Every structure is written in structure tokens, then in C-alpha cells.
Structure 1
Amino acid sequence: MADPEGTERTTIQDVAAAAGVSVSAVSKVLRGAYGVSPQMRTRVTAAIDRLGYRPHTGARAMRGRTYTVGVVLVELTSPFQTEVAKGISDALEDTSYQDILVTAGATPERQKSRIEALLDRHVDGLVLIAPWIEVAWIEKIAQALPVVAVALHGTPRNFDTVVDDERLGAQLMVDHLVAAGHRQIAHTSAPRAAFEDTFVLSHTARRQGYEQAMRSHGLRPDVIETWLSEEGGHQAAQQAFDRARPPTAIFAGADIAAFGVLRAAEERGLRVPEDVSVAGYDNIYTSTINRVSLTTVDQSGHGTGAESIRLLLERIEGRAQPRQFVVSPHLVTRRTTTAPSGTGISNRGRTV
């Protein structure tokens, strides 16, 4: 495209090449994005001045909305997160909007990079599923763009949240196991994130609910830290089974981790639930399969996704005040929990 003087208009790609950086880096400097180093800003600004680059604001104004929504997951291997994403996609079906789904990994650096890439594509809003990022960074993004965070407990100033009442859900599970006669109940939970202070993620809220419920029954909490994955649950169960006094029940912090506990029990020749009761949290589809039949806490991943879109579209249409939608959990009892046998896990369940 030529400018009024007949010369070729300088593009953002030209600036990136002159500065020796990516187009995304130039975009960050132009919009004053968080995390740009002074050296990067100096290089890009010098290239802009040297080339006489002017952002094409007219084209952006003409375009207006892009009718796209960015959806950021930690990973596709998390069944609950994919169920939330499915709920988002289904909720957008009868609207003019389309979702752009990205996976960002569990590090703050990667998550910020993926979110910045969506901002560069001028999405109209963001849904962040279990974001592993300091909240101050999200607050800054939300000042300029509608944002909904899923599974982030706290009181934000600029964005909306959709959360499950995880403390209540964990209490329901502990009450169920105690009523069945269990006194040695282990819980698997992920490590706390560095930013978790006034805000906490789902696994921390579940851990808090578990600890409070155990103490209310006069029992000692027993938390095994691991990642909420199948492999993490497997490793936690191996650790628990090797103890001199193994737990009679393991309450995994997520269904996917409970599957790892079930695998470890099978490898040890332990019967579920006769030798050890196993429970999870999320009620993902696989938990409902008859062969698995996992006792768990339901929080409706699909419904969570639908509610996040409802709130996001309200924001896009102009609502300014933050809102929180709380999902009410309920206990789903299936075949993996029962009363303890009274004999505990025998030596066949231990590594010699």
C-alpha cells in the first residue's frame, strides 16, 4: 500500500526486521505491554523513528470487533479443561463469535506469551482456564480487554471469575469417607503457585477444604504433593502404599490423578474399594464409565465453560463491574469407595 506521497508505507514487519526482533515484540512496544525490557523498547523505538513508521490506526478503527474469543488452557491432556473448552465452544454456537483455542503450558512465561499472541490478533475477549500467572498481570490486561478467569479464587478488580465452591466439594468428600468409617484419608494436591496469596487456584482451595474438614472430624490431614496428572497420582499412591501404615482411602485432587491411584493399586495387587477406597474431583466423562465408576465431586466442566462465555459477552457489551459465578458442587458416589476392611493394606501392597 502506498502512502500519499507515492512511496511504500512502512509496515510493522519492516520495523521488526530493522530492530532485529519479532513482529510480536514490536506490537508489545507499541501498546506498552507488560514485560518489555528497556533494551527492547529502545531498539524498537529507534527503528520506528528511523523508518518513520506510523501504525495504521484507520484500518483498526474500520475493522472494529473481530468477533473472536481467545481461550487459554494449560494443557489439552487435562480432561476437565477440555470439557470447559467444549462448553465455551457450544455456548458460542448461536452467537457471531468464534473461539481461538491455545494451550500455554504451566509456566507463567509461556502463558503470558500465548496471551500476548492472542492480543496481537485483536481478540475481543479472553477466557483463561486455571491461569498460572500473577493476578496483577491479568488485572492490567483486563483494563483494556474483557477477561474471564476460570478456577481462580479471589476478588479481582477488572475481570470476572467462574469458580467451583471447591472447599465445600472437598468437605463433601471427606464427610463421605469419614461416614464410611475411614480415619486415615490421604489427599493428593499440586504445589502452591508463587502468586497464591490473596488469590488461589482450584487445587489449593480443595486442599484447604480437605484440611479443614479433616480437622473438624478430629483427624490429622495427610497431604501428598504431586502434579494433578495420571502420573502424579500414580507416584503419590506408590508413596502412600509404601508407608508402614498406609491410608485406607486416597482422595485425589482431580479425577485424572485418581486414575493414576487406581493404576498403582492394580499394580500392587490391591482391591478397590476393599483394600483401599479411591476418590477424585471433577466428574469428567471417563469417571462415569461403568468399568471405572469413580466416586468423585461433580462441578460441571461444560456448564463452567458456558457461564464463562455468558459473563464475557456481558463484558464485551459494556458491563464494567466485576462479577463472580460460583458453581455448586455435589458428591457422586460410585463403586470405588466403601467402608474400610479393618485389616488395612497387607504387605502385598508394599514394595520390598
Structure 2
Amino acid sequence: MSGPRVTIREVARAAGVSQAAVSKVLNDGYGVSAAMREKVMRAVTELGYRPNAAARAMRGRSHTIGVVADIRTPIVAQITEGIEEGLQGSSLDILLAPVGKAPERQRSSIDAMLNRNLEGLILIVPSLPRPELEALGQSIPTVLIGRHGGGRHFDSVMDDDVAGAGLAVEHLVGLGHQRISHIAMPMGKFRRPSVLPQTAREDGYVIAMRDHDLEPDVITTDYTEEGGHTGAMTALRRKKPATAVFAGTDMVALGVLRAAHELGLRVPEDLSVVGADNIPVSALPQIALTTIDPAGKLNGSTSTRLLRERIDGRRNPVTHAITPSLVVRGTTAPPRE
């Protein structure tokens, strides 16, 4: 038969720390040093301490965070991997709600998660109106990924999409291109500064083109392979076709490559193509797509860090912008004479 249950007081005495420190380690409080965590967990193991699950339930702790995302978007896998990495060493679990882009579907999934008494929420590229997001942030620790503009009651992590688009244009202009088209996605009902990545990328493209005294050429379709195909056909069937296309995402770029093949154009000899997101398929030798790397895993791990700080009591909003990089591969080259 087992003996009396070991208490937090005994763990604290064995570790040589306060009971508050033990509680903070066991509850995954943010800011605990590695040395402190090691001392406490060593005492927990040696004494055989087991947290009282019933007491935790009474305090309302679920030790679970919710992640709401459109899993059809390839970069979501990278972001989710980063979120999981950020939870290593903690007792927090992930509850993933796969949704589409429709606000109604996102709203329904968020409501269902709130009923589960979660510790916090990470929303990947949410399309809900800004007032709803502010209200949500007041009710539960919340971090948004990919939504520009920041907020008063939630934290935000996003790529500097304006700078990323600038990298693409600078690269193509440096190769000698002047007729550079950009395939974008509609802005929708959003208003600056609270916009989604596609609007920020379009803004960055327009700014960079005008900085070089070049005329922007924005073709609005959607962020799919078919949208890229449609946009590329528009850009390449003109009397003076584009010599380069900056696609809003890598999936869009795949559609551009298909259109170029159908028109008998060689990439990069006849057409240069740049994508964005650096999804795994882009690195395949058969594709070798030049693309903007938005550091998806870093987005995820950073959002987890901020959420844990929120859960631990921080209230002031944080907006964290990640600087993207350009990965140059085989789909870009100087234009033909």
C-alpha cells in the first residue's frame, strides 16, 4: 500500500525553494529558470510527488491551449510544429481546431474551445473583425499569428510582409527585370492596419516597385494553385508580357509554373518566378522555387512564448514582427534581351 501523499511543502523543503516556486514550476509559469526547474523536478521525482488532479480541476486549470487554423494552408504545418516546440518542457497540451477562412466557422470553433475552459488561444491568420478579437483577448489569453496591426488586449506575431515583398522585388530588379507582375488576393472587408498577410505583401510590392520608378502590376485572384494559373495567364498573354512574376504564396507560384509550361515558356530563361512561404515542396529539385522564407516555426514558437507569458499574468500587449529572408533557387535569372 502507498504511504501518505507527498505535499508541495515537502517538495519545497527538499528542493530548498519556496512553495510558491514549486507551484510556479508545476504550473508551467513563464520565466522559471532552468536551474530552478531542474531542482524542483528532481525533488518531485525523488519524493514521488503527484499533483492532486481534483484540486487542479477545482482551480479551473485545463493545461490545454487551443490552436485555430486553416489546415489546408501549407505553412500552417510549420507554424504548428513551432508551437509544439515552444511547449516542450511544459505540461500544456494542444487542441487543434481545423477551420476554413470563413469568420462564421472560426467563430464557431472558438466558442466550442471556450466551453472547454482552455488556458489560452493561438489564432493563425484569423479573419474575425478587430472588435471581436479585442473582446476575445479580454476573456482569455490570446495570441494572433499573421494578423497585422496589433491590438490592446491580445498579442500579435507576424512576418514583416512588406519587407518580404521588398526582398522579392529587389532581387528581380537586381537581375534586370522591369515588367514584374504580382498575383495578390482580395483585401476583403479588412481595413489597414488590421489586415491579413496578402494585403501587406501587396503593399510592400507596390512600394518597392515605385521606389525603382517602375509601374506596379497587381493581378487579384486568390491564394490557390488555380488562382496562380489564372493570374499568370493574364500577365503572360499581354502584348508586353511580364518577364517576372512575384506570386503571393508558393501555392500560387506553382500555378504560375503550370501556366508557363502550357505557354511554352522556360523558367527561368523566359520567365522568372518568386513565391512566398518556403513550403517543403518548393525545395524539390524539380521545382527549386525562389521564395520568401517567413520562418514559420519561429512564428509558432514565438507565439507559444507570448501565450505562456499571458497565462502567467502579463497583460500589456506585445506585437512581434519577424524579419523574413529570401531563398534564391532556380526559378529566377536575368531576363532575355
The reply on whether 1:81 has 2:42 as its aligned counterpart is no
Alpha-carbon separation, structure 1, partners of 2:190 and 2:220: 18
Contact 2:225 2:252 in 1 (8 A): yes
What does residue 68 of structure 1 align with?
64
Amino acid at match of 2:267: V
Structure 2 Cα separation of the partners of residues 137 and 296 of structure 1: 34
Cα distance between partner residues in 2 of 1:158 and 1:257: 34
Deviation at 1:258, TM superposition (A): 0.7
**Post-superposition offset of 1:59:** 9.9
What residue identity is the alignment partner of 2:198? Answer: H
Encode CA deviations 1:221-252: one digit per residue, 9 max, x unaligned.
10111111212111111222222221000000
One-letter amino acid of the counterpart of residue 236, structure 1: G
Shift of 1:195: 2.7
The aligned length equals: 284
CA distance in 2, matches of 1:184, 1:302: 33
**Matched ranges for 1:114-193 at <5 A:** 114-193=109-188
* Alignment check: 8 A CA contact 2:157 2:322 kept: yes
Q: Give the drift of 1:61.
A: 6.5
- In structure 2, the partner of 1:41 is none
Distance 2:294 2:235 in 1: 27
Unaligned runs of 5+ in 1: 1-57, 343-352
In 1, Cα distance between the equivalents of 2:207 and 2:190?
22
Deviation of 1:77 (Å)? 2.1
CA distance in 2, matches of 1:253, 1:272: 18
One of 234, 246, 256 as aligned partner of 2:229: 234
With 128-137 and 238-247 compared, the bigger mean Cα shift is at 238-247
1:302 CA displacement: 0.9
Counterpart AA for 2:285: N
* TM-score, length of structure 2 as denominator length: 0.81
Which residue does 1:36 correspond to in 2?
none
The within-5 A match list for 1:1-352 is 62-74=58-70, 76-342=71-337
What is the DSSP-based 3-state SS (H/G/I as helix, E as strand, rest coil) of the residue aligned with 2:109? helix
**Per-residue deviation at 1:133?**
1.1
The whole-number CA distance in structure 2 between the counterparts of 1:207 and 1:252 is: 10
User: Amino acid of the residue matched to residue 73 of structure 1?
Assistant: A
SS in 1 for 2:268: coil
Identity %: 47
Deviation at 1:60, TM superposition (A): 9.6
Contact 2:168 2:292 in 1 (8 A): yes
Task: Determine the C-alpha separation between the residues in 1 that align with 2:258 and 2:59.
Answer: 53
In structure 1, what is the equivalent of residue 21 of structure 2?
Answer: none
Structure 1 CA distance for aligned equivalents of residues 291 and 211 of structure 2: 21
Secondary structure at 1:263 match in 2? helix
Post-superposition offset of 1:196: 2.4
State the distance in 2 between where 1:69 and 1:61 align: 15
Runs of 4+ in 1 over 3 A off after TM superposition: 58-61
How much has 1:281 moved relative to structure 2?
Answer: 1.0
The whole-number CA distance in structure 1 between the counterparts of 2:226 and 2:95 is: 29
Between the aligned partners of 1:289 and 1:95, the Cα distance in structure 2 is: 35
Residue 72 (structure 1) shift: 0.8
Secondary structure of 1:152's counterpart equals coil
